[in-house]
C-alpha cells in the first residue's frame, strides 16, 4: 500500500510522493532548551520518530534535521531568572534532551543545528525580505515582516483575508491566531537581553524565533523539501510565519507536506512548561517507568487526537507489553531446528503495516497486534503451529519493534536464578506450597521478582 498522510496545508489525507525518488527530506521543530522537555513534547517527538521509522521501513533514505532553539524570548527570560548565562542554560537542557531522547529509543536526527550557530544565515534571509519589499525596519531598528504585502499569508491556518488589514505589529514570538500581525524577524537590543546580542546591518539585536527554522531548514534541506512536523501549537504563528518568510524570500514553494500532532493533556488540560502541569522523563523514570511503557502510552492514541496522560494507565500498558514479551519467549522456545530469517509474512503483519501506512494509525495497529497474540497462543496450545509459523511470528515481532520500539530488550536471567524458578515451578506442581513460597522469598532476596500473568509466571529483576 502507498503511504497516506494528513497534510495540514490541504486539510486532507494525501498520497505521499517524495520530491526526489526514494529520498525523504524531513524537518522537525526541536525543543526550546530553557527547561527539561516534558512528555507532551515527547509525544510530538515520538510521533515524528514513528513517521521516520515507517519511512525507513519503506526503504526510503531519510535526511532528518531537528533544530535546537537556543535563543528566543523564553531562553533569555529563564537565563536572567536563574542568574546564569544563556549558554550555560541552553547547554544543560540540550544535553538533557539528548539523554532523554536516547533513553526513549528515539532515532537520532542527522543533524541538530543550533539557532545561535546560524545567525548569519538568518541575517541574509532578513536582508532578502527587505530587498524584496516584504519587510521593514521599525523606529527602534527591529525588522518586521509585513503580512499585508504577502497575499498568501494565512494559508496554513486558513485565516480570513479581512483579518489581515491589521496594521499592528508584535514583537513577541508567540501570539493568538485571531489577531495576525506583522511579526519580528529581528529584534533590536533591549537592556533585558543582557549580553545576548549580535551585530547586524540594522544594529545590535537578535533574531525572532520564526526566522530560525526557515533559515536552518533551507540550509540543510534545500528551498523545497518533503515534510515539516511539529505539535499543533506550532501551526500558528510559527509555521504560518515560516511559510510566509521562506516563500517570500525565494518566490518558490517551501514544504510539500505539513504534519502536526495533537497535544498531550494532563487530566484534561494541555500539558505545558509555562503552566507547570507536566511530567518530565526524569519524574517517570524515578517512578519505575520504562522507555517501552512510555512509548506505548504515547503511541496508543492516534497522533491527530488529543491524548490524556494519566498515571493510572501504567499497569494496563505494562500488562500489554508483558503479553508481547510472553508470546516472544513462547515462540523463541518453540522447538525449531534452524532459524529461517526469510519466513513468510503473515496476514496480521500485512494489516499491521497497512494501518500505519494509513496516516500512522497506531491504535488500529496495536489492536491487530493483540488479536494476533491471542490467536497465536491459541494455535500453539492446539498444536497447530509449525516452524514456518514460528518464524513468521518472530519476524512480525521484529517489525513491530522496528516500527514502534515497545518491546524491551531480552532480560538475561542468570542460570542460578533460572534453576530456582524451575525448582519453584516443580514445587508448585507437587502442591508443595511452603517450598514454593520459600523459593519466591529467596528470589526476592537475590533481587528477582515473580509476576503472574495470563500467560504464566514471569521472572524479572526488582
Ligand atoms: P517547545 O520545546 O515548546 O518548542 O516544543 C517542542 C515541541 O513539542 C513542539 O513541536 C511543540 O509543538 C510540542 N509540544 C508542546 N507542548 C505539547 C503537548 N502538550 N503535547 C504535544 N506536543 C507538544
Ligand atoms: Zn520551528
Which ligand is closest in space to the CA of residue 75? 1
In the predicted model, what is the mean pLDDT of residues 5-14? 97
Q: Which of 101, 231, 280 to probe ligand 1 with, by most ligand atoms within 8 A of CB? A: 231
CA 340 to ligand 2 centroid distance, Å: 45
Residue nearest to atom 3 of ligand 1 (CA): 32
Q: Which of 36, 41, 100, 304 to probe ligand 1 with, by most ligand atoms within 8 A of CB? A: 41
* Chain centre to alpha carbon of residue 115: 20
β-bridge pairing 135-137 and 143-145: antiparallel
- The structure's pTM equals 0.91
Please check the confidence at residue 160 and state whether its pLDDT lies above 70. no
CA 258 to ligand 2 centroid distance, Å: 12
β-bridge pairing 225-231 and 255-261: parallel
Residue nearest to atom 18 of ligand 1 (CA): 40
Q: What is the pLDDT of residues 415-456, one digit of tens each?
A: 888 888 889 988 988 999 999 999 999 999 888 888 877 777
Pocket of ligand 1 (CB under 6 A): 29, 31-32, 40-41, 43-44, 69, 230-231, 233-234, 261, 263-264, 270-272
Whole-number mean pLDDT of the chain?
A: 91
Question: Residue 141 and residue 188: Cα distance in Å, rounded?
Answer: 6
Question: Residue 321 and residue 76: Cα distance in Å, rounded?
Answer: 42
CA 263 to ligand 2 centroid distance, Å: 16
Q: Can you give the pLDDT at residue 103?
A: 97
CA 261 to ligand 1 centroid distance, Å: 9
Q: What is the pLDDT of residues 75-115, one digit of tens each?
A: 999 999 999 999 999 999 999 999 999 999 999 999 999 99
- Ion ligand 2, residues whose Cβ is below 5 A away: 29, 213
| Grid coordinates given for 282 | 526524569
Residue nearest to atom 11 of ligand 1 (CA): 231
Which ligand is closest in space to the CA of residue 264? 1
CA 260 to ligand 2 centroid distance, Å: 12
- ∠ at Cα 71 (237, 200), nearest 5°? 95
**% of the chain with per-residue pLDDT over 70:** 95
Question: Residue 272 and residue 450: Cα distance in Å, rounded?
Answer: 38
Amino acid at each position: 500500500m502507498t503511504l497516506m498522510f494528513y497534510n495540514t496545508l490541504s486539510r486532507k489525507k494525501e498520497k505521499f510522493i517524495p520530491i526526489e525518488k526514494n529520498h525523504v527530506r524531513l524537518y522537525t521543530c526541536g525543543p526550546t532548551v530553557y527547561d527539561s522537555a516534558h512528555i507532551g513534547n515527547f509525544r510530538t517527538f515520538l510521533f515524528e520518530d514513528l513517521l521516520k521509522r515507517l519511512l525507513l521501513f519503506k526503504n526510503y533514505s531519510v535526511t532528518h534535521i531537528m533544530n535546537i532553539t537556543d535563543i528566543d524570548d523564553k531562553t533569555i527570560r529563564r537565563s536572567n531568572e536563574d542568574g546564569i548565562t544563556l549558554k550555560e542554560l541552553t547547554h544543560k537542557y540540550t544535553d538533557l534532551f539528548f539523554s532523554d531522547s536516547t533513553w526513549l529509543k528515539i532515532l537520532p536526527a542527522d543533524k541538530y543545528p543550533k539557532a545561535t550557530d546560524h545567525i548569519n544565515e538568518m541575517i541574509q534571509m532578513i536582508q532578502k525580505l527587505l530587498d524584496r519589499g516584504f519587510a521593514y525596519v521599525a523606529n527602534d531598528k527591529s525588522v518586521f515582516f509585513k503580512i499585508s504585502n504577502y497575499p498568501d499569508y494565512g494559508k496554513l491556518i486558513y485565516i480570513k483575508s479581512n483579518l489581515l488589514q491589521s496594521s499592528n505589529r508584535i514583537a513577541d514570538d508567540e501570539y493568538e491566531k485571531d489577531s495576525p500581525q506583522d511579526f519580528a524577524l529581528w529584534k533590536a537590543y533591549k537592556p533585558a537581553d543582557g549580553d545576548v546580542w549580535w551585530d547586524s546591518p540594522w544594529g545590535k539585536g537578535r533574531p525572532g524565533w520564526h526566522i530560525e527554522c526557515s533559515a536552518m531548514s533551507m540550509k540543510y534541506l534545500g528551498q523545497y523539501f518533503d515534510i515539516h512536523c511539529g505539535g499543533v501549537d506550532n501551526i500558528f504563528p510559527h509555521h504560518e510565519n515560516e511559510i510566509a518568510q521562506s516563500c517570500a524570500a525565494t518566490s518558490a514553494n517551501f514544504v510539500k507536506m505539513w504534519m502536526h500532532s495533537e497535544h498531550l493533556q494532563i487530566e484534561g488540560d494541555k500539558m505545558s512548561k509555562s503552566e507547570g502541569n507536566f511530567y518530565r522523563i526524569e519524574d517517570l523514570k524515578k517512578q519505575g517507568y520504562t522507555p517501552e511503557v512510555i512509548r506505548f502510552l504515547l503511541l496508543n492514541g492516534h497522533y491527530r487526537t488529543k491524548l490524556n496522560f494519566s498515571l493510572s494507565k501504567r499497569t494496563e500498558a505494562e500488562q500489554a507489553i508483558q503479553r508481547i514479551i510472553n508470546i516472544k519467549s513462547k515462540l523463541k522456545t518453540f522447538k525449531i531446528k534452524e532459524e529461517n530469517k526469510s519466513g513468510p509474512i503473515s496476514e496480521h503483519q500485512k494489516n499491521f503495516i497497512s494501518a500505519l501506512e494509513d496516516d500512522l494509525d497506531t491504535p488500529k495497529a496495536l489492536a491487530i497486534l493483540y488479536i494476533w497474540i491471542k490467536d497465536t497462543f491459541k494455535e500453539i496450545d492446539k498444536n497447530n503451529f509449525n516452524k514456518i509459523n514460528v518464524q513468521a511470528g518472530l519476524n512480525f515481532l521484529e517489525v513491530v519493534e522496528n516500527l514502534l520500539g515497545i518491546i524491551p530488550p531480552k532480560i538475561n536471567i542468570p542460570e542460578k536464578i533460572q534453576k530456582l524458578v524451575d525448582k519453584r515451578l516443580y514445587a508448585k506442581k507437587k502442591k508443595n506450597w511452603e517450598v514454593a513460597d520459600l523459593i519466591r522469598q529467596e528470589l526476592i532476596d537475590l533481587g528477582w521478582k515473580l509476576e503472574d500473568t495470563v500467560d504464566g509466571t514471569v521472572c524479572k529483576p526488582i
